[in-house]
Amino acid sequence: MAGKFDLDSYETVESRLAKFWKDHPNGRTWTEMVFMDDRKFVVRSEIYFDKEDLNPTATGYAEEIVGASPVNRTSALENCETSSLGRALANCNYASQGKRASREEMEKVERYGTEPRKAVKAKVFTPEQIAAAQLAMNEVPILPNKEEATRFWYLHKEILEVPVEGTTLKDALGKLVVDKGWA
């Protein structure tokens, strides 16, 4: 597929959003991360023609793999959100005739070329690990110093990457260390 399309014939998500806001200044967009692990994000977007609407006019999903491109080394989540907005906007007719994919999506196709994307095996955690991570997450904010944070890290290294309320122990500890100036 790579090389068989013209990137200039695809609109950017920014262009689609500009048209949407021009037509629906009282509209709204909404995005939600529906899946994340240490390698992948999936984002869902909703488009509402009026901010008071209870149901979206259209939805869209996107998936990005962390590190799969130069952009995704630093901004995979942001890239994923933009792509999902582009899909949702296409689903309510904010796309060039016959060009549902956004320019950003086609750039991804060009980056991957004809090479198939390698499957990433998601980590599976036991109910016990999930429960332990949820309990441990409550302890993070009350850690008194860097030494205790380091000890906590090693005591809980088996569950550092268990997702808890949109984050992980690993990320919560990292944020604590930065916020407290312990880095």
What pLDDT is stored for residue 12 in this prediction? Answer: 81
Residues 19 and 108 in one domain: yes
Residues 81 and 13 in one domain: yes
**Domain annotation covers residue 119:** no
What pLDDT is stored for residue 178 in this prediction? Answer: 81
Question: Could you tell me the residue range of the domain that residue 153 belongs to?
Answer: 127-180
Mean pLDDT of all residues in the chain? 82
Query: Does position 79 have pLDDT exceeding 90, yes or no?
Result: no
Angle at 42 between CA 109 and CA 163, to 5 degrees: 140
CA distances in angstroms from 90 to 99, 113, 146, listed in the order given? 9, 23, 48
What pLDDT is stored for residue 164 in this prediction? Answer: 80
Q: Any alpha helices (H) in the chain, and if so which ranges?
A: 13-23, 70-91, 103-112, 127-139, 146-155, 169-180
**Domain annotation covers residue 154:** yes
Q: What is the rounded distance in angstroms from the CA atom of residue 131 to the CA atom of residue 108?
A: 37
Query: Does position 50 have pLDDT exceeding 50, yes or no?
Result: yes
**Is the pTM here over 0.85, yes or no?**
no
Domain boundary (66, 87, 112) is at 112
Residues 89 and 12 in one domain: yes
**Domain annotation covers residue 121:** no
Most distant CA pair in the chain, distance: 60
Query: Does position 172 have pLDDT exceeding 50, yes or no?
Result: yes
Torsion, CA 149, CA 153, CA 155, CA 160, rounded to 10: 140
Among 83, 114, 78, 161, CA closest to 173 = 161
Are 109 and 2 a contacting pair, CB within 8 Å?
A: yes
**Domain count for the chain:** 2
pLDDT tens digits, one per residue of 85-107: 988 998 888 876 556 666 676 66
User: CB-based contacts of 173: which residues, under 8 Å, 6+ apart?
Assistant: 140, 149, 152, 153, 160
Residues 100 and 21 in one domain: yes
φ and ψ of 60, to 5 deg: -155, 150
Residues 138 and 49 in one domain: no
